[in-house]
Structures are given as C-alpha cells and as structure tokens.
Chain A
Amino acid sequence: MKRKHKRLTFVIIAMALLGIAVGLVLMAFEENIVFFNSPTDIVTKKPGPDKRLRLGGLVEDGSVMREAGSAVVHFKVTDMENSVAVSFEGILPDLFREGQGVITEGKYINGVFQASEVLAKHDEQYMPPEVADALKKSGEWRGDETAPAK
C-alpha cells in the first residue's frame, strides 16, 4: 500500500469512528439537548415543583383567558394528545395566538405550569397573506396545525 493510500484509509476510519463517537454522545445527552418538553412528557413524567423546564406545543383553541385588570394570561398548551394549563404574567410575543406554536419556560406546580417566559415558535410555512386567505377559504389550510413536530 502506498503512503497516500494509507493516509486515505486512516482518514476514512478516523472520521467514521469520530462520527460514531459523537453520535453516541448526542444520544446519551438527548435529555439535555431537547429544548422543550411536550405536554405528554409533562403529564407522564410529572416533574417536581422545583424543576425549571420548558413546555412546548400549540395554544389550544378557545383556551386563552385574560384576567381582567392584570397582565395575567391563562391558556392551555396541547400536542393534540394531552394538554397542560399554563398561567403567565407579562407581555406575550407578537405571534402568540390560538393555534400558534409556543414554548414556555417555568415550573409545573400543582397541575398548572407557572410560566415566567413565553416564546412564539414559528413554523416553516412562508406565504403571502392572500395565499393564506385563499387556503383558509378553500379549506386546504394546514398551516397552524403543522407547527411543532412531536
């Protein structure tokens, strides 16, 4: 085997091993890399009231309620299987509305998620407003339901 062939096989093997090693590490750390938990995760795992975590999903239709005279908002976050009640005090991002994907950060206390921060999660759909209206009219609209995967 010529020297450059040796170097070639060495580089290929080293890259393959490195890829496997990194893949294993990422799999092992999945819990920490995942940015948010779904409502199903919260309902099944029931995290303690001291654990800070993020909850992500869609804002359930018809669940948003604003408390009169304060900035407190109550809504439900759903992944179409389970939903978790959230309460939040503060200013919501522009994209926040029913059917929109959101990520909230806070603590799960007595069955209610007390959020200290709410972020809007944008989906991958890009279209002009007229097209969105046309799709809604013709019943082809899938935009808001497709937002967060899993």
Chain B
Amino acid sequence: MADLHRFANPTRFLKLAGYIQPWALAVFLISLSVGLYMSFFTAPADYQQGESARIMYVHVPAAWMAMFCYTIMALASAVSLIWKHPLADVSARSTAPVGAAFTFLALVTGSLWGKPMWGTWWVWDARLTSVLVLLFLYIGYMALQGAFDDRVRAAKASAILALVGFVNVPIIKFSVDWWNTLHQPASVVKMSGSSIHPSMLWPLLIMAIAFKAYYVWILLVRMRSELVANKVRILRLKQVHGG
C-alpha cells in the first residue's frame, strides 16, 4: 500500500512534466535568442562603462538565478523534511547543480567586469564573499547528497544543510544595503523604482526570462531521469530479492 502511494504522485508528475517540457524549451530558446540579440545590438552602451556594461545581461540574471535556485532548493528541502513528499527531495537534488552553475557564472562574469571597471578581479567585500559562500553551500549540498548509501538519510541530512544555508540568501540580497561594499547597490529591484534606463532594462528582463525557462526545462529533464533511475533501482532490488 505504501509503495502504491509513493508511486501515484511521481507517475502523474511524469505525465505533466512531459507536457510542460517542450514548452519550457521553446520559451528558453526564443527568449535567449531575442535577449542575446537585444543585449548585443539594440541595447546602448553605458554612459560611463561603455561596452563593458553588456556583461550585466548575463551577470545579473545569473546572480538572480543563483539565489532563486537556492530558495527553491530550501523550500523543497523543507517540504521533504516536514511532509516527506517523495518528489520534494528529487526536485531539491535536481536543482543543486543548476544553481551551482549559475552561481559560478555570476562569479566569473562579475570578475571579468570588475577588472576593467573597479580595477580588481576580486575583493572580499560582503556581496562577493556571501555569493562565494553560496557556491560552497551548493557544492557541500551535492557532496552530502552523495555521501550516504541510504537515500532517506542522504535526503534528511542534505535538507537540513539546505535550510541552514538559506540564512545566506537574505544576506546576499541585502549585503549592499547593510554594509558599505565595493559592489554597487541594486539597480532593478528596489523600493524607489529601478535606476536603469528602459532600453537596457528590457534585454535584461528578457534574459532573465530565458534563464528561468532554462531552469524549468533542465529541472524537468533531471527530475524525470532521476525518477526513471529510481524505478530501475526498485525493479532491480525486486529481482534480487526474488519478488
């Protein structure tokens, strides 16, 4: 009976995922090509940064995704810990490498921008350091997921790590307001309205949509393959035990 219940939801999920997946891929490809075209050709150069400002069309959406993925991972971990929903741990585990990749991308593009603009690749200010900690949290989470033979114990331990690490997300967001940092404060999401010209804001938002759609697509791909792998494992176990 318990087995039946565990399988009911993932099966329905697989069907739904199969339906959403091509749409997410289409949105991703279209918005990525429009967004890249706009950021290279229609968006103007910045009045003082010049052409280097174009790095932000990758850097800012990547940094948003880094925080977004961690938030999703922490929420899924909470659901997995409290309600023991079988899909929650799968989605948290599938999100981690994607979030880590976005964090890495944000750090690298930021560093490439920092050298010509600030005059340095890296400084240990609150924003940069807290984002580096976020990357380490992702890596630690993935390591912990892989460190247990028992899936249930791995899910529990890594869910606790994801929840504890969530404290870092508001720190990243508000680090530029709470402390003085080398990193500039938020331009788009802030109380007094955005301080970025519309001709530059649009390509940025379209790139953000592209990154979100990519996440939905890759998450579904990863979750589906994870669920299929689980099924295979259960079938193998049954075979071994002569079921």
A contact set with B: CB distance below 8 Å: 4, 7-8, 11, 14-15, 18-19, 22, 26, 30, 33-36, 38, 56, 92-95, 103, 117-133, 143, 148-150
For chain B, residues 193 to 211, give those with C-beta under 8 angstroms from any C-beta of chain A.
Answer: 195-197, 199-200
Inter-chain contact A118/B119, CB cutoff 8 Å: yes
- Contact (Cβ within 8 A) B180 A128: no
Chain A residues with Cβ under 8 A from B47's Cβ? Answer: 127-129, 131-133, 143
Report if A93-B196 is in contact (Cβ < 8 Å); known contacts: A121-B182, A131-B47. Answer: no
Whether the Cβ atoms of B163 and A126 lie closer than 8 Å is: no
- Could you say which of A30, A95, A121, A150 contacts B48, with CB atoms under 8 Å apart? A95
CB pair A35–B81 under 8 Å, yes or no, is no
Known: A119-B123, A122-B49. A128 touches B199 (CB 8 A): yes
Name 18 extra pairs, CB < 8 A, besides A94-B116, A121-B118.
A4-B83, A7-B82, A19-B167, A22-B171, A30-B179, A33-B179, A34-B179, A35-B126, A36-B182, A117-B119, A119-B123, A119-B182, A120-B118, A122-B117, A131-B197, A132-B47, A149-B177, A149-B185
> Looking at the complex, which one of B118, B126, B181, B184 makes contact with A93 (CB distance below 8 Å)?
B118
Residue of B at shortest CB range from A132? Answer: B47
Q: List B contacts of A121 (CB < 8 A).
A: 118, 182, 184
Task: Please name all residues of chain A whose beta carbon is closer than 8 Å to the beta carbon of B179 when the two chains form the complex.
Answer: 30, 33-35
Q: Number of contact residues on B: which range applies?
A: 35 or more
Cβ–Cβ contact A128 & B184, under 8 A? no
Q: Are A122 and B184 in contact (CB-based, < 8 A)?
A: yes
A92 nearest in chain B by CB position? B119
Provide a sorted-by-A list of 6 A–B residue pairs whose CB atoms are within 8 angstroms: A22-B171, A117-B120, A118-B119, A122-B49, A129-B45, A132-B48
Q: Report how far A36 CA is from B75 CA in the complex, Å.
A: 35
Cβ of A36: which chain B residues have Cβ within 8 Å of it? 180, 182
> Contact check: which of A8, A95, A124, A143 meets B187 at CB < 8 Å?
A124
The answer for the CA separation of A33 and B180 in the assembled complex, in Å, is 9
In the complex, are the beta carbons of B123 and A35 less than 8 A apart? yes
| A-B contacts, CB under 8 A, total | 115
Q: Which A-chain residue is minimally distant from B127 (CB atoms)?
A: A35
Chain A residues positioned under 8 Å from B44 (CB to CB): 128-130
Q: Beyond A11-B82, A22-B167, is A126–B196 a contact (Cβ under 8 Å)?
A: yes
Closest-CB distance, B197 to chain A (whole angstroms): 4
Query: Per a CB cutoff under 8 Å, which of A4, A94, A150 touches B180?
Result: A150
